[in-house]
Amino acid sequence: MKTILVLFILCCAVVLPAVGELTVADIEKIDTKIRASEDRIKEYINIKNESVDKRLSLVTTLIVGLIALIVLAVVIPQAILTLRESGNRERD
């Protein structure tokens, strides 16, 4: 029982500084560290956003190019067939 009481008192003595009040200087130090951390996070996010924008631009360009190729693959043969048919009609 005595050991439990001694351990309890020891734990209370260890925890006592943790419940002390913060001074203005302590709060300012914490605030500057938080602001520095936020600035680093914002910079990291901005770099990632720029990277995503570049990739998205590349993908958009590729999609537009593929659509143009598909349209050309459909339109050119259709135009050739139309010209041949109009030439055949003129001959008849």
| 85: in domain | yes
| 3: in domain | no
| Domains in the chain, number | 1
| 42: in domain | yes
The whole domain housing 84 covers: 29-92
| 17: in domain | no
- Show the tokens assigned to 53: 């924008």
What predicted TM-score, i.e. pTM, was given to this entire model?
Answer: 0.53
CA 76, 81, 85, 87 dihedral sign is: positive
| 24: in domain | no
> Which residue type occupies 67?
I
- Distance CA(23)–CA(29), nearest Å, equals 10
| 40: in domain | yes
DSSP 34-60: HHHHHHHHHHHHHHHHHHHHHHHHHHH
pLDDT digits (tens, 9 = 90+) for 40-77: 999 999 999 999 999 999 999 999 999 999 999 999 99
19 vs 78, higher pLDDT: 78
